[in-house]
Structure 1
Amino acid sequence: MSELAERRRPGRPRKERGAASARSAILRAAADEFAERGYEAASLRAVARRAGVDSALVHHYFDGKADLFAATLEVPLRPDRVLDVVLAGPRDRVGESLVRYILERLDDEKSARRMVVVLRTVLGSGPGTRMVREFLQREVLSKLASLSDAPDASLRGELAAAQLVGIMMTRYALQVEPIASTPAEDLARRVGPVLQWHLFGDPDAPVS
């Protein structure tokens, strides 16, 4: 093969191949770091050392630890970012907006399959369970809890999260009918007020 033909051989540019290789190395290192140390104790600096790259390169590819963790698990939905979007809307529709946003994005078949894998990791045992739970605690539950200044804010956040996980399990993992085939908008209208009550309702008020 001539030198000119060699230069013209199809394929990704060398710079692109190098970038993909560096990103892959970071993801492999992150998977090991999270598995060994858990989400809370892992750091981007430690991931960079394990991958043999500068920590600035990790920040170049990933916005932060939550972003890197989500990429490591190939999560189809970033729960921390979901909350940022939902909380930008009306406070009195947080529950409904949260259910609608999540279900509309998970109703894609590929996203649903991947989310089932993540949910099964959470419900299983071992390092995968630990790191997912720590991620949810820090990036999701704490933000939900911060919506209320009530003394039971943490319990409110955990109950709301439990409701969401339950819907995702029955709809995507167990595929229980008619929940599995009910339009996302209908589920948001029915389940949203329950989340709203968990987050902001008065538990001492009589049930009407």
Structure 2
Amino acid sequence: MAHLDLEEQEQLDQLKHYWNQYGNAITWILIVVFGSIAAYNGWQYWERRQAAQASFLYDEVERAAGSGDAARVEQAYKDIKDRFGRTTYAQQAGLLAGRVLVERGKADAGKSALQWVASDAKDEGLQAVARLRLAALLVDAKDYDGALKQLNAGMPREFEALAADRRGDIYNLQGKKDQAKLEYMKAWQAFSADSQYRPLVEVKLTALGVDVQTLKPAGETAKS
């Protein structure tokens, strides 16, 4: 028993020595670790709370849009943008507000909403939609250079065909037929064979004197 007591005392002495040497460092490491966990949990809670509040304001934008009240749409959009601009709800609200405000004759306010989404949205898909819509508005205003700037700002792969089609339209309007053909061909090749947009691009190519049959792979041509 005395031998066991001596061993226990030696282990206890070693533990005390170890703690005296490293105890402060271990304590600070634990503080950092548990502090990080607490901060992460707090951040998650804050994000969920922000999303819930933003969702409520987005519903208000939707209701205002459904009623066609441009003033309410503009105010609701401003509220969600100012308070929860980092959320996806705010960026979706920008797309919705942009469309409704333009339809209701507030073109400048609509463009501003779309420009904000195109510039500041975190989601690349939302950015792409905003740029495509903004480009269409700029084309209507005959600001072709501005429209091309939006379309050339970079698009996710799934939006490249639409962007090429829009660029083709712009070059066609400018009388730049060769550049229009190139963009339409890019669009035609990027759209899948069963895409509803492909026949529309084919019509544009045909009008410019391009035989779309020559663009089809051999197997697709034979099937046609």
For CA contacts below 8 A with separation 6 or more, give which structure has more relative contact order. Answer: 1
Scaled by the length of structure 1, the TM-score of the pair is 0.31
- Which has the larger helix fraction? 2
Q: Which has the larger radius of gyration?
A: 2
Scaled by the length of structure 2, the TM-score of the pair is 0.29
